[in-house]
């Protein structure tokens, strides 16, 4: 089997298949995302996870803007428990020309680039929802490992309004820091 023919299979393994919603409305985006301000650590509070994230504990997504405009991303987590060793993934993001900073391409393996939409961002850049048009994955993240129950329920309502099946939403266990 040729290497080039393995890429579609790898993409399915990494990002799943057949789990998208039938909702075809565009995902809402904030009018503008200040990309440098968005950089830093984001704790994953809840998600509809991709395969590697399904049993994530202490999940944190960290972004660092590089001189060439790319975004070095480090996703760290523990698989299955707080005692598990820390694992990490290192995709590279790229802000697309359209979308005013809210539309990114995230590359885990060349040449496959996954859609990454900053669908909601609070004014203080302390909470965000990252989505995909396929409505297969979503991430609700915050600058702190814990959020209030009211904030969590508001995020769930936003995610549902975007057309996601919130029954698939998983709250990510986070250590109290």
pLDDT tens across the length of the chain (177 residues):
444 433 333 343 444 444 445 788 899 999 999 999 999 999 999 999 988 899 999 999 999 999 999 999 999 999 999 999 999 999 999 999 999 999 999 998 777 788 999 999 999 999 999 999 999 999 999 999 999 999 999 999 999 999 999 999 999 999 975
**Residue bearing tokens 């004014």:** 123
CATH number of domain containing 97: 2.40.128.20
In a domain, 1, yes or no: no
In a domain, 19, yes or no: no
In a domain, 98, yes or no: yes
pTM: 0.86
- pLDDT at residue 15 in the model: 43
In a domain, 17, yes or no: no
In a domain, 3, yes or no: no
In a domain, 44, yes or no: yes
In a domain, 81, yes or no: yes
Q: For residue 139, what are the domain limits?
A: 28-171
The count of structural domains within the chain is 1
Phi/psi class of residue 12: alpha, beta or left (left: φ > 0; alpha: ψ in -120 to 50)? Answer: alpha
In a domain, 22, yes or no: no
Contact between 153 and 127 (Cβ < 8 Å): no
């Amino acid at each position: 089997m040729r290497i080039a023919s393995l890429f579609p299979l790898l993409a399915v393994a990494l990002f799943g298949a057949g789990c998208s919603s039938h909702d075809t409305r565009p995902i809402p985006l904030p009018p503008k995302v200040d990309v440098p301000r968005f950089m830093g650590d984001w704790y994953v509070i809840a998600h509809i996870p991709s395969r590697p994230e399904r049993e994530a504990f202490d999940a944190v997504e960290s972004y660092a803007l590089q001189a060439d405009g790319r975004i070095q991303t480090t996703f760290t987590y523990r698989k299955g428990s707080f005692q598990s060793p820390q694992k990490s993934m290192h995709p590279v993001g790229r802000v697309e020309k359209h979308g005013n900073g809210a539309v990114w391409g995230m590359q885990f393996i060349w040449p496959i680039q996954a859609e990454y939409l900053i669908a909601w961002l609070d004014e203080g850049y302390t909470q965000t929802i990252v989505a995909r048009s396929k409505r297969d994955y979503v991430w609700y993240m915050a600058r702190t490992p814990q959020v209030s129950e009211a904030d969590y329920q508001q995020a769930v309502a936003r995610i549902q309004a975007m057309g996601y099946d919130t029954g698939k939403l998983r709250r990510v266990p986070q250590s109290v820091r």
